[in-house]
Structure formats: C-alpha cells, structure tokens
Structure 1
Amino acid sequence: MCLFEGRKLSFLFCLAASVTVYSVIYLWTKTQIEPKLINSPSCRPFATECKAFLPGTEEGVEWHRQDCQVERFIVNNQLQCSNLTKDLHFITRPLSREEEDYPLAFIMTIHKEFELFVRVLRAIYMPQNVYCIHVDAKAPPEYQDAVRKIVGCFKNAFLSTQSESVTYGGFSRLQADVNCMKDLVGSSIGWRKVVNLCGQDFPISSNLELVQYMKSKNWRDRNMTPGVKQPGYMRYRTEFQHREITGSRVALKGWGMKKSLPPHNLQIYFGTAYYALTRAFVDFVLKSNISHDLLEWSKDTYSPDEHYWVTLNHIKEAPGSYIDGEWEGNVRAIKWSDQVGTVHDGCKGHYVRDICIFGVGDLPWIINQNQMFANKFDKTYPEALDCLEQWHRNKVLNQATVPIEPSWLLATQKNSSSRSFNSSAGA
C-alpha cells in the first residue's frame, strides 16, 4: 500500500511538473506570437489639437480609438482574410447608389511605411472601386510580402503585374503608372475615371465627394491634369538628356547633351504628376502613336510624369482633353516652401524637397482646402494622420445612405450613443 501511494505521489508530482513546464512554454510562445500592444503607437489617444475637428468633444467626453489591429498585422502577420476587413475597419458595402453607379479606379505607388499604406487604402477603399498597387521593386522582401498578403484579401485590388525600381524624378515613376493602367483596362469593373496616389497621400474628400466632383459640369467629360506651358526655367528638364541612376537620382547625361525636338511637334507643358483621367483617355495613352512616341521621347527627361499627362491633355486628339486648361483641378493640397505667405501660413511639420510633411498644426489649413487629397504625411507626426483619418471617416459615414456597420467605426465615444459619430463631421 505504501509502495502504491509512493508511486501515485511520484506520478502526480511528475504530472504537475510537466503541466507547469508546458504551460510556461505555451505562454512564452504565445507572447512571442502575439506581442502586447498596450504601448503600440497605433493605440495612442488623439492629440489635444484634434478636438477642434471631432464632434462631441465637450468636457467629459472622450474618443477611444479601436485601431490597434494595423500594428498587430505588422508585428505578427497573423490576421486571416476572413477577419481582416472587420478587424481593420474596412467599409464593406457601397454607401450610396450614386457611388455604386460611378466606380473609380485608383493607382497607388508605394515603397515604404506599411502601416501608412494600409491606412490610406482603408480610407479610399470601397467595394465597387478597383485598386492597382505598384510596389517598388527595390522595396524589402518582407514589405512586399506584407503588401501582397493584404491586397490578396480583396477581389477588387491587385498588385501591378510589372514592377519598376522607382527613382525620384525618373522615368521609372511614370512607367509605374502606365504599368497599372495596362492592368486596369483589363479589369471587369467598369470604372469611369482613374486617380493616382503615392503612399504619402491622404484623402480630404470622401468617395461620394470624389464622384460628385468627377461628374460635375466642368469635369464630367474632361481629364484633370493641372499645368501650363512649360516655363523657361523648367526647359532644362526636356531640352537635355538625363540618365536615371537606379534607386538613387537622375543626373544630366554627359556635359549637357541636347535632346531632339518633341515628337509630332508637341508643345510641352509642365504641371502636377497627379491627375484624374477618363477611361477613354487611358485607352488613348495605351494605343495612340502620339502617346507612345512621347513616352519613348520622355525616357531621358527629368521627372517626365510632370509633363507627360498634362502635355497629352492639351492636344485635340486626346479624349477628354482640356486644351485651354491651366491649373484648374483640385487634385492636391500641398504646402510648397516658396508659397509661404501667399498660399499658406507655413509648414507646422518640416520640409522635405520643399514640400511640407504635415504636422497637427497643418490640419486647419488642410481641412479648409477644397482638394481631393493632401500630400505629404509620414510617421514623423503620427498625431496629424490620426486626427485627419478620424475626421475623414466621420465625414464618410455621415454621408452614407445605408445602415452603418459597427466595424466601420475607427473610434467610439465614451458615454455616448452608438450613432454619436453622426452628430457633426466637422466638414
């Protein structure tokens, strides 16, 4: 009997020890796979300056962000497609008949800051639209894999079939857009106009406002490519041959080698690299000899995306052309360093290549601009994007004509009704 009791106690001791060891191993493993995100930057509260742009910020009422899942996806890459749209608060139904009947196409060229990409995609995403994502070929493999995984969860989003190694100011940047256009014309979605974005843009207008703007009297059948005849101080870009040093910069070729004159006696224009183009114009870009010859001629120019689209949009052969157009078209809110005191009151963040990286103090100016998108944002001033993102989502949901799904909310208000976000978008 004593021998039996001794063996029983030994067995129980071994069992307890085994359970303890396995429990420790399980908890340690779980900790590695699902890291605590209490101090994650995605979970930070809204900045004090943000209160002016959010409804219901009277004393005693606070907004609580629900947006920690973006960081979780980055950290452990464990989200499944079946849960992704809910966990990341993507809108899953068209919010109005008007938007459903006028699908848009978007081209996004990205190379860094995965979380920013996800937040921009979430802000512009609607299930009736279509999205072509161009990932820089020289982006780290883990970045490309993360983008591929999240894009693969949406039937109406895809990666460009041909990826360029993009150089700032180089032909590769223009080619990336053309690559996506080739893919978009094969989409089964009958998109009406295409808009291009970079990874540091963020929308000011809602999707409904974009649709209404595209359908307005001035733009219904026109392309939007703000720009003017090439100024004299910009002619060096297209009069001399340049070469692209992959992944680095664009430099003059030799000691200032002159280029041939533009094909088809084209007048070269200078403007923004951003646009809103009709589908017929995209077909023209991909099929016309004029556009093909200009594209080939542009390969050794500097920053050709700033002359290519606007030049083609000023010839009568192009569908939707705007021959008399200049800087019309509200495509971007940008604070250029040389426009302080005239267009804006200075950058509250900091300048990079003479463009303001927005801080929280820039939000009043951004929101008051009647533009489609704002450029640029990065992780230096995360509070600025937090605030603008919430302001934008409030506006989007306020304009909806369908019932709001709880998962579409990026934040909730303590001690407020479930529809409190609908009180005032601050638009």
Structure 2
Amino acid sequence: MIKLKDIKSFHTEKRWAFPLAITSIICLFLLATCFNMGLLPPLYKFNSFFPLFNSRVVSNQSVPHFAEEKIIYPTSESRPSIPRFAYLISGSKGDLNKLWRTLRALYHPWNYYVVHLDLESEPEERMELASRVEKDPMFAEVGNVYMITKANMVTYRGPTMVSNTLHACAILLKKYKDWDWFINLSASDYPLVTQDDLLSTFRNLNRDWNFVEHTSQLGWKEDQRAMPLMIDPGLYENKKSDIFWVQPNRPLPTAFKLFTGSAWMVLSRSFVEYCIWGWDNLPRTLLMYYTNFVSSPEGYFQTVICNVPEFIPTVVNHDMHFISWDNPPKQHPHVLDINDTAKMIKSGAAFARKFDQDTAVLDRIDSQLLHRPNGSFTPGGWCKGSPSCSKVGNPIRVKPGPGAKRVRRLINKLIQSAKNGNQCR
C-alpha cells in the first residue's frame, strides 16, 4: 500500500528533477560553445590530466585511416632475384591469330599474361581464343595465362582504352601477388628480343623504374587534342563508333600539368598500385578529366606519374618500342616491313609495332632474333622436353643472347639520362 508521505516525496522529486535536467543541458551547450570559440584549451590538453581517458583516445587513433595501410608490400629482400613481367595483350575484330602469335612469342612460364579481344570482335573469335587458352597443355599446366571473358568496348582515340588497361592492371593485382612490371601490348606488337634477354636485363634494375615516353611540350596537340571536348560512345554503347566533338572548347587545366607521349609503357608495380588505389585521388580526378580528351591513352599515365613528386625520379623517357611515325604523327604509325629490320635491331628496343598479320618481317624476327621455329614458344633456359619447350624445367634459369646486350645498352643510356634529372619536362 502506498503511503501519503511516499506520494509527497515522489512529487517533490519531480519538482527538482526537471530544473536539474534543463540546467544540465544548458551547461553542456555552454561548454561545447566554449570549445568551439577557443575559450577553453583543446581536448588533448585535458587528456594529460586523465590518463584513463587519454589511453582510450590513443587506442582509437591507432586504427588505420586508409585501407592501403593494411597491405603488406614485399620487401626487396623477399623478392626473387629474377623479376616477373605482367603483360596485357589486347586486340580487336580479326586479331585472333595475330594476338595468338604474339602471345606465344612472348610466353615464359615465369611471367603472367592477360589477353583481351574487345567487344567489336566476333563472339566466335573470343570463344576460339578462350578455347585455345584452356586447351593449351603449357598454359593449363602453368596457369599463368588469363583471358578477360567479359569483353570491354575499346575505342583507341577515347578513354575506353585507358579503362581497359586499368581493368587488366586490377586483375593482375588481384590474381598474382609477385610481379614487378606491367607491360601493355596490342596484337599488332611483336618482341624483338627473347624473354630471357628481357628478364636478364631487368634483373639488375631498381624495380621502381617506369618506362614512360613523355613530354610537357604539347605542340599541335594543345589545340587539336587537349582543348576540344569529345564524347566516346564506347562508354555507353555495345557497338563501336567513332568519337564526336561537343562545344565549347575548354581551357588548359591549372590544377595539374599535362603531359603526352606513347600509349605503350612498362610500369612498376608500385605505380600500378597507385593508379588503381589512388589514395590521394589524383588518378581518379585525371581519369575523369581524360574522359573527354582525344587520344587519352597517350596522356593519362604520363600526366599521373609526372604530377606525383615521389614518382618523378622513377620515370625513364622511353616506351621500349620501335615505332615509325610521320611528322607530325598521324593517328596510326607506319606498318613495318622487312626493310625496317635493320633499324629495329639498331634501336635496341624490346618491342616493335605496327605489324600486319603473318608478314615476312615477323618470320625474319622469329628466325634471326627469337630463334622460334614453326610457331612454337620462344626458347629459353626454362625449356625442357621433346619437342623443345614442351615441358617446363627451371623457370628462373635464363639464357640471355645478343638481344640482352642491345636492350642493356639502350637502358643504361636512358637511366643515366634519368639520373641527370631529365624527367617530366
């Protein structure tokens, strides 16, 4: 039974509870206002007087703010002495056999390969490529060749080629954890040296070097490529059509400096990770800018790497290709033939483009430079079995030939120029 004095006590408590609550709210509001106006010292100074509270704050501050802080990167000591290359070989309609020939000429069990036929190619072509990759005994045994089965639309003059390259980079980062350099090639490219030559040459290089042809002198590209605004239908249509222009033109950017160069490059893993993760947002910002840029593959990676101070010292101004251009360059380079063989060899480049399918010059490269008989794999120190290179021996055993000397001579000259500070100018 409730007594009268209990009821009176209850009502008395109600009378003072409400003013107390209001007073507490006002005090909290005034305290917060003082902090905001700087009338009280900052919170971290109070922490020194309250060690328990301070320990809680410190423990909260120890949580990483960025996802990439959780990544454990391999140290130079943990890396194999022989580097690994990760290749993208891409093609379009009618390029099946060209791509297949380039892949087999480039193949080495120590490397990784992503192949892609774009959405313009016939479904039968893509299915045939997938079948060849799946049924090849060597590829099945080693498991280092991956085909992008969900094809992308690629328009060379638009940003879709950059998107496709970044797609391949993301696949390689996810599937394979231990490669050192990314190399993008097309079905119209072909090697001028063996993979053993290349592995041997890059073996003694700092694995942060990036081979990116670049210049900040835009010249005629300023008016014809940088300032016009274009739309690439390949971003939203499933059939290839040419880009189209819209008005008005835009001025050159002031937030970053534009660079231009070759669409073909050899990129370090650390720079590829930066392009994919983009933790300071520059790669994404530039990707949006280059969405409306004519021939964005010839500017995107150059502009990214030359606007990041930590990567500028790693840039070597060469794309490791022999390419014959008009002056000024047209949209596509000259098609190389057998008369260009001597110039290709003299250049010291690792690759050349552009080639037609099954031409005499490719046969000469196979026989004289790669020693690759009858469409087989290019021989190297890894080869075992009969016929030759039908089995994998020691994948890190390399047998460099004359091609290694040519490439090494070129790279030594380029790196010396880079060390003199001739980068991103």
Shorter-chain TM-score category?
A: 0.5 to 0.7
Residue aligning to 2:282: 290
Shift of 1:132: 1.0
Q: Secondary structure at the match of 2:114?
A: strand
**Is residue 2:190 matched to residue 1:197?**
no
Q: In the aligned structure 2, how far is the partner of 1:425 from the partner of 1:208?
A: 9
- Report the CA distance shift for 1:384/1:215 in structure 2 as closer, same or farther (over 3 A): same
Residues 15-414 of structure 1 correspond to what in structure 2 (within 5 A)?
A: 101-111=82-92, 112-153=94-135, 154=139, 155-160=143-148, 162-217=150-205, 220-236=207-223, 237-246=225-234, 247-254=240-247, 256-258=248-250, 261=253, 265-288=255-278, 289-317=281-309, 321-323=311-313, 325=315, 328-338=317-327, 353=331, 355-379=333-357, 382-394=359-371, 400-401=380-381, 405-408=385-388
Tell me which structure has the larger Cα radius of gyration.
2
How does the TM-score come out when normalised to structure 2?
0.63
Q: Secondary structure at the match of 1:378?
A: coil
Task: Summarize deviations over 1:353-398 as a string: whole Å, max 9, x none.
Answer: 452212222222222220010001113x621111212223328999
Question: What amino acid maps onto 1:225 in structure 2?
Answer: V
Is residue 197–residue 401 contact of structure 2 (8 Å, CA) maintained in 1? no
Q: In the aligned structure 2, how far is the partner of 1:100 from the partner of 1:306?
A: 32
How does the TM-score come out when normalised to structure 1?
0.63
Residue aligning to 1:68: none
Is residue 391–residue 425 contact of structure 1 (8 Å, CA) maintained in 2? no
Is residue 231–residue 245 contact of structure 2 (8 Å, CA) maintained in 1? yes
RMSD: 3.3
Shift of 1:106: 0.1
Task: Summarize deviations over 1:310-333 as a string: whole Å, max 9, x none.
Answer: 112213355xx235957x335110
Q: In the aligned structure 2, how far is the partner of 1:423 from the partner of 1:212?
A: 9
Is residue 107–residue 378 contact of structure 2 (8 Å, CA) maintained in 1? no
Q: In the aligned structure 2, how far is the partner of 1:139 from the partner of 1:292?
A: 29
Q: In the aligned structure 1, how far is the partner of 2:303 from the partner of 2:175?
A: 27
Shift of 1:227: 0.7
Question: What amino acid maps onto 1:391 in structure 2?
Answer: Q
Task: Summarize deviations over 1:83-124 as a string: whole Å, max 9, x none.
Answer: xxxxxxxxxxxxxxx998322100111113322111100011
Shift of 1:238: 2.4
Is residue 222–residue 322 contact of structure 1 (8 Å, CA) maintained in 2? no
Question: What amino acid maps onto 1:101 in structure 2?
Answer: I
- Report the CA distance shift for 1:221/1:274 in structure 2 as closer, same or farther (over 3 A): same
Task: Summarize deviations over 1:49-76 as a string: whole Å, max 9, x none.
Answer: xxxxxxxxxxxxxxxxxxxxxxxxxxxx
Is residue 194–residue 276 contact of structure 1 (8 Å, CA) maintained in 2? yes
